[in-house]
Each structure stands twice: as C-alpha cells, then as structure tokens.
Amino acid sequence: MSPEKTDLRREAGRRTRDDLLAAALELLAQRGQEGVTLREITQNAGANVAAVSYHFGSLKALCEATIEHALERYLDAQIRELDALGGAATLSELAEAFTRPMVSALAAGGRDLAVIRLVARVGIEPPEGWERLAGKFELARRQTVRVLAVNLPDVDRHELDFRVRCAAGMLNWLALAPVGAELAAEPADRIERMLVPVVAGAFRGAR
C-alpha cells in the first residue's frame, strides 16, 4: 500500500475514533453509562459495530475512555484557573476561578456542555476507574483549600475541604438540574454574576 493511502486510512481511522467518542459523550451526558447502547453510539457516529471493537475493544472501554477524557478536560481547566490565583485572592475571586469552566460550558453549549454534564454524572455516581484521576481531583481541592485557608484562618482544614466538596457537588447538581438549562440560556457574564456569589457563600459559610 502506498504511503498516501496509508495516511488516508490512518486519518479515516482517527476520524472514526473521534466520532465514536463524541457520540458516546453526548449519550453518556444525557443518560449515564447504564442508559447507553452500542447500537445508539454507532448510529450517531455513523460507524459500524466492528469499529468499536477495533478502536476500543468493547462498549465498556469506549465509555471509560470518554469519561476519562471529559474528566481530564474539566479538571485541567479548573486547575489552570486555580493556578492563576495569587496568594491574596478573595473568596469571590476563588469562586470565579472555581466556577469558570462551568460558566464557560453553560454559555458555549454543545460539546462543552456535554462534557460538564458527563463530569456531573460521574461526580454523583463515580464509575469504575475513578481512582485513576484521584491525583487531579486532589490537586484541585488542595489549591482551593489553600486560598480558603488564607481567607478563613479560623476554620480548620477538614471543614474547608468539606466546603469545597459541597461546592463541587452543587455545581454537579446544577449541570443536570432544570435550573442549569435555564442558566444555559443566559450570556456568560450573567451566568457568572448569578453563580459566583452562591459558590462564594458556600465557601464562606455562616455561624
């Protein structure tokens, strides 16, 4: 086979693999792993069943690859935002950084929103293999707690960690709840204006 034909075949294989991942992402975001079938994914991707076996080995492996890619994409975005915060960042600035990937996805819609919804489903019902990304989850939490500790020196680390988990859980719920769909109809600046004070309040707490 000529090099040109080999390259075309390789490129077609990459497109098929990407199409399968995109179709799986959309369906997993809507229903979760238990509600997805091989036939639906291949129909939506315009591929045949054999392509799933060739590229991933099984439906389960395809779903796991899709979930892992979505989680990494979300966590990397959040970690970048938190990394950019200075040591004197306020709770409001922390809440902005913490929620920015969610705000961007709600405003963008489409695949970005599907990623966030899949991340939310995984956060509520962790699948097998969740532990592979434990380091990134821990890094995002640690970065958030670091800024919280400066702003709330009288609150112990265990409670600060709890508040971060609660704020993350609230965002997961929001991505899947009807109010999340309402927010998605708003421009990004209004989504941020509505969401950031709520998350900052969760961080701040009340006694």
Instruction: For the chain of 207 residues, list the mean pLDDT of each consecutive stretch of 10.
Output: 60 84 84 82 89 88 85 88 89 95 89 83 72 80 93 94 94 90 91 94 86
Spatial neighbors of 2 by CB under 8 A, at least 6 apart, are none
What is the reported pTM? 0.80
**What span, in angstroms and rounded, lies between the C-alpha atoms of 35 and 12?**
28
Closest CA to 68 of 134, 16, 15, 140: 134
Host H or E run for residue 160: helix 157-176
Q: Which residue type, as a one-letter code, is found at position 179?
A: V
Q: What is the model's pLDDT at position 155? A: 94
Closest Cα to residue 66, out of 108, 29, 16, 30? 29
Residue type, 82: L
